[in-house]
Amino acid sequence: MRIRTRLAFSGGVASAATVGALLVTGVFATSATLVAGDPTAPEASADSLSRFDGCAELRDWYVDHGVDDVGPYGWGGPIMYAYDAPATALDGVAPGTAEKSATDARASSDTGTNTQEVDVDEPDVAKTDGRLVVRLLDQRTLVVSDVTGDEPREIGRLSLPIDTYGAELLLVGDHVLVSEGAGGWGRPMPLEGGAGDIAVGKLPGPTGTRIVDVDLTDPAQPRIVHDDTYTGRQVSMRRYGDVVRLVTATPRPELVWVTPGKPGAGKISEDEATRRNRALVRATTIEDWLPAVVDNASGASKPLLDCTDVLHPAGWSGSETTTVTTYDVHDQGRRSAVGLTADGQVVYSSAGRLYVASSRVDPPSVWRRMYGAVRRDDLPARPQPVRTQLHAFALDGLGTRYLGSGHVTGSVRDRWSLDEHDGRLRVAWTRGDLRGGTDNGITVLAEQGGALVATGGIDRLGVDENIQSVRWFDDFAVLVTFRQVDPLYTIDLTDPGHPREIGQLKIPGYSGYLHPIGDDLLLGLGVDATEQGRSLGAQAAVFDIGHLADPRRVSQQGFGEQSSLPALGDPRGFTWLPDRRTGVTAVASWTGGRLRLVALHVDGNGTLEARDLATDVGWNARTLPLADGRVAVVDQGVRLLDVG
């Protein structure tokens, strides 16, 4: 199994034919064909960000760095972003976590979600406080159910003012925050220039994030108290007690471009269309670029942050403005924000740190002249490496303070590939080489002198294989790669300057999700396979990591050759109940249509036993632990089960 790498060109995804053609000509490399480097070499001090002095300087930055990317059809495509599939719309949810003790079992968050960090809650389609379950029905209706009796009882319902699918919610005390993608908005803007110019304006687009705040003080009468739309797509939303941090990425303005031969503009040449479109960019104001928030009740719009709250790298780092907005749900008037003129793709957050990451390919300068003929002599002689940029913020109550930036050479699978411990960031990455192979490793970065500086690392893990899951602990990590067999590596992180491999276990198949269940045991969800790498369907397995130099698989349970596990793509679909020593997950069968819900019980010796709990659940079913020991199974409805 090779990495399935996509390349996005200014918001679009290149076709397989396009990517193949570019690879043949050697224009760039994806994360599967990167140039290897030394993971232990310090490489970060030049990445840190500076603050703008004011709006004039900020606007000039946007315009000066954007105008050359404009051609006869609008914004061009010189920036390429590398990311590994599969991923979901919310942070690319995929295997891993930051649980810190191998002797402790990892329970769900206080609202029932299997989260990345135990003390940082995440949005989901359903939540509970142990007595009430709140869920989204058909994405457009909020339903509140009482689950304290023998049967669930619906007590409240509210139609939401949302118009797209993909909404999720956070439960914050007696408030529910529903977030969804929303359409953009714009204002008319004249095009500067001479005769024949026409009035143009900003086009609406799917660039907003709508947050609807619902008060559940009376759960039978839920009511909307705030309804705001933030410019930019949602990258991440996290809860820290009553504090919420929303990370959005605002693209550059989408304008009504003049194009060659466009009716009303006459039969103009590409050069003339380019000239007019660049004039349009030069006519923009800071309001066209600066992230904003709109009160949907009044229609009032205001900048989300001041110009002096925006930071920038020394060089161009992408066309988006990434903003971290912080507020107390019970006092939203204290909202604050900090922004960076850098792309935001992945966000990882511990209780004390938040990191924004973006994997990208920096193309050669010839791409900035992509509208004319490109001579073969202009093409680079070797593939261009993928670099993952990393920006760190310190979190303290309502405070969000920029700390510094760094980078690693290579791409990260998703946010679960990052972990913070004692102020150090650990990053699991994949990079390629010129022969088309892959390498995997871990780099440790420390906060030094306003930057993230690599202090040490390890590479050559799973050569020509791909990272499937990572589990982080205080002083070590467990990393799984796969091509035909499953090398499960244990990595010593005690000395941040010299991470080292302690042991490995090679078995057929792989574990795409690892969950600590206590007593130095890990429960792995994944795929069974033959020695040749042919899939035999989904499986669960228990691993003993009590002796890191000799990890062992102590039990295994297969689910059939035509089976799969939704939790491999979204770990929020898995729940571990420490008091019952039981995990709950959905299992899909391609021959049976609907999914079944399975309980995975592990005894003190690590022996695994599976039994069916329900035989008809949906792909996005959730199992939420309740205060009385039962679980609420949330799908199109709510049902209560005693796992036993």
pLDDT tens for each residue of 558-601: 999 889 999 999 999 999 999 999 999 999 987 666 789 999 99
Q: How far apart are CA 80 and CA 9, in angstroms?
A: 5
Mean pLDDT, to the nearest integer, of 409-433? 93
pLDDT attached to residue 593:
67
Q: Which residues lie across from 227 on neighbouring strands? A: 212
pLDDT tens for each residue of 92-104: 333 333 344 555 7
What is the chain's Cα-based Rg?
Answer: 25
Specify whether the CB–CB gap between 392 and 425 falls below 8 A. Answer: yes
First to last CA, the chain: 39
Q: How far is CA 63 from the centre of its chain?
A: 28
Q: 266 pLDDT band (50/70/90 cuts)? A: low
Mean pLDDT, to the nearest integer, of 284-312? 94
Specify whether the CB–CB gap between 633 and 597 falls below 8 A. Answer: yes
pLDDT attached to residue 244:
97
DSSP result, 69-131: GEETTEE----EEEEEEP--TTTT--S-B----TTSB----TTS---SBTTBB--BSEEE-SS
pLDDT attached to residue 584:
97
Q: 315 pLDDT band (50/70/90 cuts)? A: confident
In b/e form, how buried is each residue of 415-453, taking b as 16+ CB within 10 angstroms? Answer: bbbbbbbeebbbbbbbbbbeeeebbbbbbbbbbeeebbb
- Assess whether pLDDT exceeds 70 at residue 466: yes
- Assess whether pLDDT exceeds 80 at residue 365: no
pLDDT attached to residue 640:
96
Instruction: Kindly give the pairing relationship between strand 74-75 and strand 168-172.
Output: unpaired
Q: What percent of the chain has pLDDT over 70?
A: 79
pLDDT tens for each residue of 525-569: 999 988 877 888 999 999 999 999 999 999 999 999 889 999 999
pLDDT tens for each residue of 323-362: 999 999 998 878 999 999 999 999 999 999 999 998 876 5
Q: Which two structure tokens, joined as six digits, stand for 100?
A: 């810190």
- Listed by start position, the domains of the chain span 4-474, 511-644
278/204: higher pLDDT: 278
Q: Which two structure tokens, joined as six digits, stand for 308?
A: 């002096």
Residue with tokens 């035509």: 562
pLDDT tens for each residue of 36-86: 333 333 343 467 899 999 999 999 999 999 998 899 989 974 344 443 333
Spatial neighbors of 191 by CB under 8 A, at least 6 apart, are 197, 198, 199, 200, 258, 276, 279, 280, 283
Q: For residue 266, which of 198, 190, 192, 189 has the smallest C-alpha distance?
A: 198
Q: Order of strands across the sheet with 233-240?
A: 50-51, 310-312, 331-340, 321-328, 243-250, 233-240
Q: How far apart are CA 488 and CA 480, in angstroms?
A: 5
The per-residue pLDDT of the chain, averaged, comes to: 82
Give, in order, the Cα–Cα distances in Å from 530 to each of 468, 510, 562: 17, 11, 14
Q: How far apart are CA 211 and CA 329, in angstroms?
A: 12
3-state secondary structure of 304: coil
Spatial neighbors of 45 by CB under 8 A, at least 6 apart, are 449, 451, 453
Mean pLDDT, to the nearest integer, of 195-205? 38
